Amino acid sequence: MILSDIGQIVNKYWYEIPNHFNNVKLDEFIVMPNHVHGIIRIQYNKLCNLRRDAINRVFTNNDNIGGITKQNNPMLNKKSIPYIIRWYKGITTHTIRQLPNSFIFHWQPRYYDRIIRNKKELNAIRQYIKNNPKNWEQDRNNILIFF
């Protein structure tokens, strides 16, 4: 991939994530023409109690005071995927909009995430990310726009 100015910013700040979140290790990553794929590894320790129901985005621990809409909201927890992605989208959007002759850049409002449960699944997802550029011609997101 030859990255545009926007692609270079998106790429740069991906690799900045561990500098801002010390519980994160990065894995496979690729910038595509209109999206990115990446694996973020969250390192939890015994003091970090972030167990939650991944489907419903609610905490499942017994000391849940206030529910998801109060202090236990994952968006407010600096060790959570939602917080990390919010930071990443925010810093890249801000930086891209500073470019000369920039247009109104925005990310889609949500993102796709999944919990990788074993080594086999991890390796399959890594391979999918690596193969994404060569499969771009057949990708459903590859929409040609002529100006």
Confidence band of 109 (pLDDT split at 50, 70, 90): confident
Kindly indicate the confidence band of residue 73, based on its pLDDT and cuts at 50, 70 and 90.
low
pTM of the shown model:
0.74
pLDDT (tens digit, 9 = 90+) per residue, 117-135? 999 999 999 999 999 888 7
Q: Secondary structure of the chain in the HEC alphabet?
A: CCCCHHHHHHHHHHCCHHHHCCCEEEEEEEECCCCEEEEEEECCCCCCCCCEECCCCEECCCCCCCCCCCCCCHHHCCCCHHHHHHHHHHHHHHHHCCCCCCCCCCCCCCCCCCCCCCHHHHHHHHHHHHHCHHHHHHCCCCCCCCC
